[in-house]
Amino acid sequence: MSSHPALRVLLLPVLAALLHAQPQSLARPGVTFQIFQFPADQIPRVDGNTDDWSMVPESYMIGTDQLMDTVHGRGTNIDRKDLDVRVKVGWVKGINRLYFLYEAYDNYWDFSRNDLHNDIFEVVVDGDLSGGPLIAQMHPNKDIPRWDAHFSMHGVHAQNYHIFTPAEGKDWALAWGCQPWIKELPYMNAAYKYNFKPGEAGRLTLEFWITPFDYASCDGPDRSVESKLWENKIIGLSWSILDYDDVNAKTHTGFWNLSHKQTMYGNASDLVAFRLMPLEPNLRKKLEAQWSFVVADMDRRLIAFTDRTVGQVTSWKWDFGDGTESTEQHPIHAYEKAGQYVVTLYVEGPAGKSRRAKVWDVTVK
């Protein structure tokens, strides 16, 4: 058994610092909202019902009090008899999706027209904190033709969704950019629940998920790269509510903005920090053995194993499947012969014992 503890000692603090670093270029410095982690066996159904979200603590709720009107000069003075909203955001470890629950009361729901004149929940996401302009109108090269800018960068590194609330007789959203395919399955899903007509007051529930992209190609999904989501990662995210109160009005009467910067709709540097949270303590198993591995050097059949056990561990035992063992937490092992191996991690802690075997995942030549 071979190991390189010095390398791990050098790298782990660097990785930890990167994971927990606070972004400096986003709007609202010092503010980091939280994204709730759903257990893998309790992924919310997209059906417009809120039952699946009952496990999400109210501390994750982002309400009207966090919004600012950045167009009409009303600041944070929102009349909740006119508009009141509640938003919760979730994720599931291992799936590159962001789940949203949007609950809103409006004294006048405007959605009878076929164009952009519609009450809108506008969501902008930057999954890798790349920052910078994301719409053609803000392209830094002012000499580039408008449509060349559109088809080269609009929505590519960060995405803007104009979500119609509600949508009747048209798509649920405008994916503002050159890649309308991101607003369709298998990259999103959405469901509404409401019982009002255009011009009436009432409450709306919107449940949906989207897939953020580090690179959303104008040519389609085959050349695109999804944003990878992991615990404690910080992403850029914000939203605004475009509130119309007159079907004949030329523009909205409210632009209520979480970022507090008007340009959040087109510049990813003006979004807000959101952290992908670990499971809440009451949803975690007390002890569950988990592990992963990478091939460090196939020529030497060198495999690096990483303990990812959930819960407090006092002892580890690795069975590498070739007759050798290790009691290190993160061993590196060299296999003498090519083959397919059953590797098992046994752990013990205050909560008891647990094991995790993987059959033939570890294969060397």
Express each pLDDT in 28-85 by its tens digit.
999 999 999 999 999 999 999 999 999 999 999 999 999 999 888 787 888 888 999 9
For residue 13, what pLDDT is reported? Answer: 44
For residue 27, what pLDDT is reported? Answer: 92
Q: Is the pLDDT of residue 192 over 50?
A: yes
Q: Please, which pLDDT band fits residue 4 given cuts at 50, 70 and 90?
A: very low
| Cβ-contact 353, 285 below 8 angstroms | no
For residue 78, what pLDDT is reported? Answer: 86
Residues of the chain with CATH 2.60.40.10: 285-364
In terms of CATH, what superfamily is 285-364? Answer: Immunoglobulins (2.60.40.10)
Residues of the chain with CATH 2.60.40.1190: 25-276
SS3 173: strand
- CATH code of the region 25-276: 2.60.40.1190
Average pLDDT, integer, range 142-171: 94
Q: Is the pLDDT of residue 2 over 60?
A: no
Q: Which residues of 123-148 are buried (b: 16+ CB within 10 A; e: fewer)?
A: bbbbbbbbbebbbbebbeeeeeeeee
Quote the CA–CA distance of 154 and 159 in Å, as a whole number.
8
Encode pLDDT of 86-120 as tens digits: 999 999 999 999 999 999 999 999 999 999 999 99
Q: Is the pLDDT of residue 9 over 80?
A: no
For residue 20, what pLDDT is reported? Answer: 47
Give the DSSP H/E element, type plus range, for residue 10.
helix 5-20
Average pLDDT, integer, range 233-252: 93
Q: Please, which pLDDT band fits residue 7 given cuts at 50, 70 and 90?
A: very low
